[in-house]
Each structure stands twice: as structure tokens, then as C-alpha cells.
Structure 1
């Protein structure tokens, strides 16, 4: 099956947020750079970022983190099943704990992060890793919420690559 993307119009940028609030943009980029020193392994970080981007509906971030995961050696099959991680047999208990925490933090308006979710994450990550994971999730939530709201970026390139 081939997908025809020739008639698809990409969402247009709604607001040049970085240009209009450069100090905040610079601070956010600094936070992103600081978060890159995370103790969480990069493949897992990319999958967590992908899951948060899926929940928040940021097409740019879904695309970017899927592509970054592929570039990092992640299997396409696992990437395509991140949204169904509970049912898919391809994720480790550590990855599942990270996804559960990411979903709970991302959907915080629906209820607090449950003690069971926290306990499972604490069982799979040491304190430093858990702190880094919480920051990683918080940072990607900020990026994806900005992206889904103001669409400051556009996609480009071949849809088949």
C-alpha cells in the first residue's frame, strides 16, 4: 500500500514564538541542552519523547523523535508500537515504567501520578535516573505543547524517508 502525500498541506506556523520571545526561547534551549546530560539511556529517552509527543499531538516532535530513534538504531517495529506499549510485547519493564510515568505526567490534569506508577518507576530507576527522567518528561511536555499550540516549525523532506 502506498500513501499519497502530494495533496497533504502541512499545518502552517501560527506564531513565530522564538522571534517574539527570544529570552524565553534562549532559556528553553538552555534547558534542553542541560537535559541532554541525562543519565537515562538515549534510546529510551527518544521513545519517551515520542510517546509524550504522540499524546500532545505535536506532529513535528513525533516526526523528529521517530527519526532520531531510527538514527540511534531503534527498530522501526518498536517505534511504531510506542503508542500501544501496554499491548506490545517488545518493551522491557524499565521502558514500560518510563512510559507509564511519562503518560501520567503528561495527563496530570486527569489525576495525580499514582503511587503504583511512581513505585514501579522507582523500582526500575535509581534516584538520579528518576530525577533525570522526570526532567526529561517535563522538558518534552513543554516542547510538544508549544509545538501543538503555535506550530512554530514545519515539516520538510520526503515522507518516505
Structure 2
């Protein structure tokens, strides 16, 4: 692959601002397993290999099963996700693909029922943030380092 700029060295203040969002999200009420499902699903949709590899590792360190991680690709057909996870995954899909149809009232209301206002807002911010990271990583062709 051709060399592309590295945001961290070219615009460190912007990356620091993104890390500020991550710091905020680290203190939210979103369960860690749900955060990783959001990050993995959005990264799959966006074709971000860097983030898929990174967040799959984190999810497995948190004892997430490889079977569920693979099933994310077809979560709507999979029996492995509960109603709360399904609501969050629907939000993730629709916000990640927001130009297609926006965020439907049905998904928004289901998210509200399953999460409440504060957790819904936090999950939406998590979705927005991983989408920003995906775009940075894909645009600059970031590669995940392997041990």
C-alpha cells in the first residue's frame, strides 16, 4: 500500500480532541461489551480493517465469544443478540449509513425503550465517534500492528 499521512504527527491537536471523546465515552454507562459491538459493527459496515482487528481483540479480551463476533455480520438473522443489543445494533447500522435513510423513528423509539434517554444519547455518541475513527483509519490506510 502507498504511504499516506499520519494524523497523529500532522495534526496532533485533532487526534487529541478525538481522544477526548474516547475519554468521555470511557466514563459513560455503556457496558464495555456493548461498546465493542457498536465499534465492531460500524467498522464492518465501513470496511475499516484496522478498527475491526483492534476491537475484535478488545472484545475477545472481555470474554466475548468468537461466534457472536462473527454473527455481527448478520445480526438481524442471528439468535445470539438480546433485545437491547438488537436496538443498539439497529441504531449503529442506521447512523453509520445515515445518508441512505436517516435514523428511523422505529429504531429511535426502540433505542429509547431499551436504553432510556441518557444511555441512548451516550450510545449515539459512541456510534458517531467510531464512525469518525473509521473514516480517519480508512482515509489514511492505517494498519493494525500484530504482536
TM-score, normalisation: structure 1 = 0.87
Q: State the distance in 2 between where 1:97 and 1:112 align.
A: 15
User: Any stretches of 5+ residues in structure 2 without a counterpart?
Assistant: none
**Preserved contact between residue 50 and residue 62 of structure 1 (Cα < 8 Å):** yes
1:113 match: 103
User: Any stretches of 5+ residues in structure 1 without a counterpart?
Assistant: 1-10
**Preserved contact between residue 97 and residue 124 of structure 1 (Cα < 8 Å):** yes
Call closer, same or farther: CA 1:13–1:52 in 2, change over 3 Å.
Answer: farther
Pairing partner for 1:92 from 82, 85, 106? 82
Q: Deviations over 1:72-99 (max 9, x none)?
A: 0111100111111001110001000000
1:64 match: 54
Q: Which has the higher helix share?
A: 2
Q: State the distance in 2 between where 1:85 and 1:12 align.
A: 34
Pairing partner for 1:149 from 99, 123, 139? 139
Q: State the distance in 2 between where 1:18 and 1:60 align.
A: 15
Call closer, same or farther: CA 1:13–1:58 in 2, change over 3 Å.
Answer: farther
Task: State how many pairs are aligned.
Answer: 147
**Preserved contact between residue 54 and residue 144 of structure 2 (Cα < 8 Å):** no
Pairing partner for 1:43 from 33, 38, 45? 33
1:157 Cα deviation from its structure 2 partner: 2.2
